[in-house]
Structures are given as C-alpha cells and as structure tokens.
Amino acid sequence: MKNHLIYTQDLTHCGLKKTRHRLAVLDILDHSEQPLTAEQIYASLQDRQVAINLSTIYRTLDTLVLNKLVTRLSITQDGRALHEYNRRVHRHYLVCQGCRKIIPIDGCPLADYSRQLEKETGFKISGHKLDLFGYCPQCQQKQLDQQEKDADLKAREEG
C-alpha cells in the first residue's frame, strides 16, 4: 500500500481507527482509474488475498463516505452505487451506456455558469453534478459493425 501513511492520517483526522479493512478499501479506491461498486472492491480484495466479507465492505464504505474519505456516486442507470477515493477534486463524468465505462471529465464546464447564475438570481449555489451519458468510441464501432451485419443479412434474405 503505497499511500498507507496518508490513509492512516486521514482516518486519524476523522477520529476513526486504522483497520486493515479500511486501509485496504482506501488503497483499492485510490488506485482505481474509475469509481467502483462494493462488489468490484470485494473482487479486488479477493485477488489480493484479503479475507473480508461483502457486508464488511458495505459497512466500511458507509463509514468512509460519512467521514468524506470516499465519495459515493449514483451515476449508473441501473441504480448501482459507485465509490471513489475522495481526492478533494471536483469531478464530472462521461458514462458509456454500452460497456459502462466511466471517464472523468477534466475541468468543470459549469463553473462559470454557476457564478453567472448566482449573480443573476442571488441564489447561493452550494454544488452541482453533471454526468453525461452516451457511447464510447469502441461501443459506437460495435454498433456500426452490428448495423452493417444486419444490413448484409437483410440484403441476402431479400436477394
């Protein structure tokens, strides 16, 4: 665990005990390129030979979310909760509806608009969320390939 000291400091700062399960969950999330479900975290920990129950992962995630060490996202259309290590960076995502890949967007396209809205309306904006759904290039290509196959099959059936 590369950032063991940082995780320990974060847990201590929140008044939480340092446990091997908390450290392991934080490490998995910190090194993941995209948010993970509890089940994906469980599978990763099993790969590392960490003995842990799925219910323990859920409880650990609840504690870490409550203490803002982990962010819970609900951006999947099937209602799965995703989790990511809280790097204290404001993020938005592109979500592929085909393969379910989640890609962070660099920067915030709503920052200027939020400030403009505050000036125009007097409304104090405390936050926002933007997730864009669509299809990644690989899934778009699969769709095109399937359309071509379907068109070829139809042409053969008619011809």
Cα–Cα distance for residue pair 64/25, rounded to 1 Å: 9
pLDDT one digit per residue (tens) for the chain, 159 residues: 557 888 888 888 889 999 999 999 999 999 998 889 999 999 999 999 999 999 999 999 999 999 989 988 876 667 788 898 887 777 788 889 898 888 888 888 888 888 899 999 999 887 777 788 899 999 999 999 999 888 888 888 886
Alpha-carbon separation of residue 148 from 74, 77, 143, 155 (angstroms) = 35, 28, 9, 10
Q: What 3-state DSSP class applies to 72?
A: strand
Q: Show the tokens assigned to 48.
A: 């590392």
- Give me 66's structure tokens: 């409550």
User: What would you measure as the largest C-alpha separation in the chain, in angstroms?
Assistant: 73
CATH 1.10.10.10 residue spans of the chain = 1-88
Helix axes 54-66, 38-47, angle to 10 degrees: 120
Residue range 1-88 forms a domain whose CATH class is mainly alpha
What pLDDT, on a 0 to 100 scale, did the predictor assign at position 33?
83
H or E element, residue 116: helix 111-121
73: tokens are: 């996202």
pLDDT given at position 16 = 93
Question: CATH 3.30.1490.190 in the chain, residues?
Answer: 90-159
User: Which CATH code for domain 90-159?
Assistant: 3.30.1490.190
